Amino acid sequence: MSRVGVIGAGGAGLCAAKHLLAAGLQPQVWEATSGLGGTWRHSTRTGTDLYGLPIFSSMYNNLRTNLPKEVMAFPDFPFPSEDDTSFVHHTTVSNYLNRYATHFNLLPHIKTEHHVQKVAPLPNNSGSGNTAAGLLPRWAITVRDLKQQITTTDVYDAVVVCNGHYSKPSIPSLPGVEEYQGRQIHSHDYREPKPFTGQTVLVLGAGASGIDIAIELCSTAKQVYLSHNQKNNIASDLPKNLHQVKGASEATRDGFILTDATRVQADVIIYCTGYEYTFSFLCESCGVGVSRGQVTPLYRHIHNVLLPSMAFIGIPVQICPFPFFDTQVRYVTKVLTGKVSLPSPKDMEAITQQEFLQHMKEGHAPEDFHLMSSSQWEYMRELTDAAGEEPLPSVIKTLFTDVRKVRNNNLLTYKQNKYRFTGPETYEVVQ
């Protein structure tokens, strides 16, 4: 049996373990925190944990999903039918992932409070036994048992990286910010609106978390500025004390200058400016780099072109997460079991470069290479076709797309809607 190291026990890592086990491989999952769920495992702490490691989860107390659970579920493991709410609290998702792990008997293969410190490729003639589908190299993986304070290094035939990308905040450098006298935090450290009672808050960034946090803050804050540079203002009705303004371009002692030269005073700025990919455990010889928001060199956003026995799950953004992970993992499993052959490294590099050039030709920014949105469905269909697997039911795409339209126009009420699948192609709105 090929031994496969899996880094992270969130949705992607658990899905990887499940499919690898089913294919007769031997996964070993390491998770640095004390439980399963990854970003869905809420922590009231901010900063660092008991072991001095950065807090991983960005989950805030009142967060509910912005996708209905009907499309969020893994294809072979639905959310409990007794929960008649579609947009569920984050604890429901955390419980769901723990049930998933128990149902598929993954717990014996998971070591919590184990921090992966180093992943290094071995020379091609190192180790013994068969590699995963003949792929090279094998990997020396160094792991620290945080509880026992013991560090060990073992050899694995392949490694699947599932460490997520919502834990290292990306914070822009605003000119003059060192003079700003107010409070500054990133959404990664936001937990609840109460500390902002009676204050004027500038939320920088109007992505999903920026909008959600800005709306929640309106329940306690005196005034909230949602600061962004999107082409159009948000069309939905918003709370009366929430004002859309241009993006902040400069900080002053008591507030910010915006890109249209107007000024706003703010007691607090919350950076909802996204996250950075981070792979501190990968040694330089792995050949993987991050530049301008792009992880390179990855074939199909998954396999390390230079060392193809290393795969990454969940790199793309603006996706339907669990079905997307499941699709990628099914493809990787077929590769690791020799049922799907990868092109040569040279050809993988050429294909990836051509995809990037096409991305640029279409007018997209380099840092958006992993941003999929509507293109995720064709991407997943290509993977299932290549792996000889069944594609996702079309109703997942249909409901995902329809909910997005509803959400954009009804930010204050869309989570009240309830949905039910009525077949592989259809759904209904539950009254």
Q: Kindly report, residue by residue over 255-312, the tens digit of the pLDDT.
A: 999 999 999 999 999 999 999 999 999 999 999 999 989 999 999 999 999 999 999 9
Please give the Cα distance from 372 to 368 (Å, whole number): 8
Tens digits of residue pLDDT in 115-140:
999 999 998 755 444 456 667 799 99
Please give the Cα distance from 380 to 392 (Å, whole number): 8
pLDDT value for 127:
46
Q: Which residues contact 385 (CB under 8 A, 6 or more apart)?
A: 391
Q: Give the angle 288-294-300 at the CA atoms, nearest 5°.
A: 75
Q: Give the angle 236-241-242 at the CA atoms, nearest 5°.
A: 45
pLDDT value for 128:
44
Question: 97: which 2 tokens?
Answer: 């992932």
More confident residue, 169 or 124: 169
Q: Which residues contact 368 (CB under 8 A, 6 or more apart)?
A: 293, 359
Per DSSP, helices labelled H in 42-89 are: 69-72
Under the banding of pLDDT at 50, 70 and 90, the label for residue 431 is confident
Could you write out the three-class secondary structure of 1-22? CCEEEEECCCHHHHHHHHHHHH
Is residue 335 over pLDDT 80?
yes
Please give the Cα distance from 354 to 382 (Å, whole number): 16
pLDDT value for 133:
61
pLDDT value for 134:
66
Mean pLDDT of the chain: 95
Q: Give the angle 182-185-186 at the CA atoms, nearest 5°.
A: 150
Per DSSP, helices labelled H in 80-207 are: 90-103
SS3 82: coil
Backbone angles phi, psi at 310, to 5 degrees: -110, 125
This prediction's pTM: 0.95
Say whether the peptide bond before residue 297 is cis (omega within 30 degrees of 0): yes
**Mean pLDDT on 172-198:** 97
- What's the N-to-C CA distance of the chain in angstroms? 51
- The tokens 């909802």 sit on which residue? 272
